[in-house]
Amino acid sequence: MSSNNGPTAQPHKTWPERYRDMANTARDPRIQAFYKAGCPAPATPMSEVPLVALDFETTGLDPDEHAIVSIGLVPFTLDGIQLGKSWHQIVRPQLPLHQTSVTIHGITHSDIDGAPDLSEVLDTLFEHLNGRIPVVHYRNIERPFLNVALQHRLQEQLRFPVLDTMAIEAYLHPDRNPNRWQRLLGKKPVSIRLADSRLRYGLPHYAGHNALIDAIATAELLQAQVLHHFSPETAIGDLWV
Amino acid sequence: MQAELLDIRNHIAQYPPFDEMAEELLDQVVEGIEVAYFRAGTQILELGQQNAWLHYLRSGAVEISRRSGELYNRLGEGEFFGHFGLLRNQRVRFPAKAIEDSLIYKIPYETFQYLWEQDENFADFVEVEDRSRLRSAISRQEKANDLMTSKVTRLIARQPVTAPSTVRLQEAAKIMTDNGVSALLLMDETGDFPKLEGIITDRDLRTRAVTQALPSETPISDIMTEDLITIRSNAYIFEAMLTMLHNNVHHLPVMDGHEVRGVIALSDIVKYESQSSLFLVSNIYQQVDVKGLKKISRGVPDTFVRMVNEDANSHMIGSAMAGIGRSFSQRLLELGEEKLGPPPVPYCFMGLGSMARDEQLVVTDQDNAMILDDSFIPEEHDEYFLALAKFVSDGLAECGYSYCTGEIMATNPKWRQPLRVWKEYFTDWIEYPKAESLLNSNIFFDLDGIHGETGFAEELKDLIAEKASGSQRFLTLLARNALNRTPPLGFFRAFVLEENGKHQKSFNLKRRGTAPVSDLIRVHALACGSRAQNSFERLRAISKTKLLIDDDAGNLRDALEFISIVRIRHQALAIEEGREPDNNVRPEDLSPFERSHLKDAFQIVSNAQKFLRFRYNAGGGRNVQ
């Protein structure tokens, strides 16, 4: 699962430097524009970083086997999540839609029949991503799926850092899985799933499940995590992965 | 607005004034929202700070204070703040602080202004509050108190919409659309009488049928909810609300025995009144340990004082306080069951005395007992129930309900017995009464099942209602006991004062006031076979018989109300002045008006006692039957 986790090519360079390099080598104008929009320096305080919470619904967990069904995103900062600028798009997967995932997302074949291919909405997607650091819950979905899709359509990939709210929860609860002895004593494992993590911060339960609500839920969770365990002054470079 | 944001719009649309807002306007509200999270203890708005947002509380709790720093209001889910300043110069007039972790939807000034221009109801709502804050705060509270004193039947606007459980999906959806209802009751019509079998709601249709693309011919019984949570028709609205919160359901069928009276929805209640004053009660169910409950219990005296200051009557206050006490017990029992595992045999936890009568105040000890299923085997099961009883009793003590000095608690093995034994107890008390034992068992004749198999408690009430009215000797002895405590009135209507340690010259408004009244009302109620527990409800049942003439019942009701409210005010004053509340009132603490009325009230009680003595031959055995 880790081969797609992030760049391994230039470990000694910072992200802003890598963005500058990649802006020169990228072929697709949209990918060029993404890198040109730049990346904040690792020392930038969290409070000053433009963020975008991103969530994909997919037909499965393996980017090589499954496809993206819908995209939800919402731009935000630590101060506020701007619902009016949110975006939700159903896309037509190139692989068959499995019955199991239909019941999870509530997206049906008829929804998808009329939906565009990802390539048709790339312009809008990039407009939302440019100049912002993506925030996801569980980094092994959005970045790898996006890269497989881009590779397939543009023969190029996108390298970028993400903030992963699930990784932050994992870091906060290193002993979340009790050993056999602790289990005997009644200790329960700590769940770091999105809905369970939110409960720990008094965040409300959302009844609906779609990519946009999950993106909003992720954005709220990050705000809560930073205010509870870090601070608005924390450097973005300490948190991104 | 994107359809995927419906969750957010639906939340806002539940609460006034947004509940009456046009959909297009609501869409605009959602479009403009910025979501922000605040940790407990964070100052959200500082006095005088520039603020261009209306703040809507999505979850959590916020305290609003006055310029002086004094607490002005406490807000919960669905309420908003920041508008006082928006109407003027966009400077904060009432500082706001998060007292729980809170999620706020911030609505920009431009949207606020647009709503204010476009939606008259919205403008009234925010302006009225600005013009006479105090008045609207009080009327809001009064309505909230309504929640605690109005019955659920008040919310039933129509006959229940039902269909046989054999209908198909599409038919069911059509019936719901045609009738404009969000829930459909499904009846088993195979027997002589239709029997409620299940329910299907709008939400079920969306989540279970549409998203799974079920064929329209699917039998509704495949997707309806069985194992229904219902509520009895004489329940208070706030009980319905707690039941919903507690079981996470949004519709409750209202039942009269086996007959359906109607359906109430959470939105009905929310429309009826905002959730704010039920803050404390709903919070009880969110606590996961005794520590959390203890913390909340510190707010109980404040709730009490607030109700008193808003002129709630004694029935409202008594039932609200009893409701709070019941909720603490229920939550503790749930936590106890979580800790100890499920009970080995069914049981019922009973509240006794003032809690059962809905006449609880702030200074109160715990009186409770357990009825166990008849399959109870002491050697195998009692360890569990003792542990559970102890957990609850200790928890209640932590929350300010002190241990009962008379040991009337489920921790006492005598009051932790199978139903069969309880029936023997009551049969013995009623059929072979002794003055001495009745004195101690008086309290058991005010009983209420509050958790578990509450049907056990109902069986006991049935037994009492059936046997008590027929046992003359029981009533005579009960009446004699009820005469032991007399009102503190001496010659020429002077108060009889007692020397009472630090309290010097005073009279006890419980022992010599409310207790004698509820005692004598209990005797009449048992004599007429009433199953009611609350003194006012008992009086209503009594006035339907010929036991008392109408005027007497009415006078007694007024007397009880007046004595109770003086006692309540006395306690509220003590809490406000930071003293320990008690029942000892000095005549000089009363206004001339109160003194005079209190004497009238005591006179009525005294006369009622004379009548009781005569009616039940309770004159100390001089009358031969």
Which tens digit of pLDDT belongs to each residue from A20-66?
Answer: 999 999 999 999 999 999 999 999 999 999 999 999 988 888 888 88
Contact assessment for residue B482 and residue B600, using Cβ atoms and an 8 Å cutoff: no
- Does CATH place domain B276-461 in 3.40.250.10? no
Measured in angstroms, the CA of A82 and the nearest CA of chain B are apart by 5
Helix (H, G, I), strand (E, B) or coil at B222: helix
Tens digit of each residue's pLDDT (9 = 90 or more) over B152-193: 887 887 788 999 999 999 999 999 988 888 899 999 988 888
Touching check for B102 and chain A: CB below 8 Å?
yes
A75 touches chain B (CB under 8 A): no
CA B282/CA B524 separation, integer angstroms: 36
- Check whether A224 has a pLDDT greater than 80: yes
Instruction: Calculate how close chain B gets to A53, using CA atoms only, in Å.
Output: 13
Q: Which residues make up the CATH 3.10.580.10 domain(s) of chain B?
A: 161-272
- Nearest CA to B471 out of B461, B463, B460, B481 is that of B463
Domain with CATH 1.20.120.330 in chain B: 479-615
**A103 Cβ partners below 8 Å, 6+ apart?**
B211, B212
For the segment B458-468, what is each residue's pLDDT rounded down to a tens digit?
999 999 999 99
Is B100 in CB contact (< 8 Å) with chain A? yes
Interchain contact B31–A (C-beta under 8 A): yes
Q: Which of B136-145, B211-220, B600-609 has the highest mean pLDDT?
A: B600-609
Mean pLDDT of A119-137: 94
The C-alpha atoms of residue B587 and residue B595 are separated, in whole angstroms, by 7
Could you tell me the maximum CA-CA distance found in chain A, to the nearest angstrom?
59
With H, G, I as helix, E, B as strand and everything else as coil, classify residue B344. coil
In sequence order, which residues have a C-beta less than 8 Å from that of residue B529 and are 6 or more positions away? B465, B466, B468, B469
Q: Which of the residue ranges A15-19, B97-101, B137-141 would you say has the lowest mean pLDDT? A: B137-141
What is the longest distance spanned by two Cα atoms in chain B? 85
How much of chain B exceeds pLDDT 70, in percent?
Answer: 90
Residue B100's CB: how many other CB atoms inside 10 A? 18
Q: A202 and B59 in contact by Cβ < 8 A?
A: yes
User: How far is B600 from B591, CA to CA, in rounded Å?
Assistant: 14
Write out the residue limits of the CATH 3.30.460.10 domain(s) in chain B.
Answer: 276-461
**How confident is the model at residue A4, as a pLDDT?**
42
pLDDT of the residue at B245: 64
Over residues B523-532, mean pLDDT: 93
Kindly report, as residue ranges, where domains of CATH 2.60.120.10 are found in chain B.
Answer: 3-131
Question: ipTM higher than 0.90?
Answer: no
Residues 6+ apart with CB under 8 A from B23: none
Give just the sign of the alpha carbon dihedral A128, A133, A136, A140: positive
Say if domain A42-238 classifies as CATH 3.40.50.150: no
Q: And the tokens for B434?
A: 């002794």
From CA B280, how far away is CA B302, in angstroms rounded?
Answer: 10
Which CATH homologous superfamily contains domain B479-615? Nucleotidyltransferases  domain 2 (1.20.120.330)
Q: Mean pLDDT over all residues of chain B?
A: 85
User: Alpha carbon B585 to chain centroid distance?
Assistant: 28
Chains A and B form CB pairs within 8 A to the count of 82
Give the fold, CATH level 3, of B3-131. Jelly Rolls (2.60.120)
Choosing among B1, B4, B33, which should be mutated to test the A contact, i.e. which has the most A CBs within 10 A?
A: B4
Contact B4 A211 (CB under 8 A): yes
Residues of B in contact with A223 (CB under 8 A): 35-37
* pLDDT digit string, tens, across residues B266-305: 777 765 543 334 567 767 877 889 999 998 888 888 878 8
Query: And the tokens for A127?
Result: 């407009």
Distance, CA of B205 to CA of B211 (rounded, Å): 9
Reported confidence tier of residue A77, pLDDT bands at 50, 70, 90: very high
The structure tokens 């106890």 sit at B336
Beta bridge partners of B264: B252
Cβ neighbours around A29 below 10 Å, total: 10
Any B CB within 8 A of A223 CB: yes
Asked if B32 has any chain A CB less than 8 Å from its own CB, the reply is yes
- What's the rounded Cα separation, in Å, for the pair B474 and B466? 13
Q: Per residue in B81-106, pLDDT tens?
A: 988 888 777 888 889 999 889 999 99
The CATH topology of domain B161-272 is CBS-domain (3.10.580)
CA distances from B333 to B343, B351, B405, B423 (A): 11, 12, 22, 24
Tell me the mean pLDDT in the region B546-573.
Answer: 87
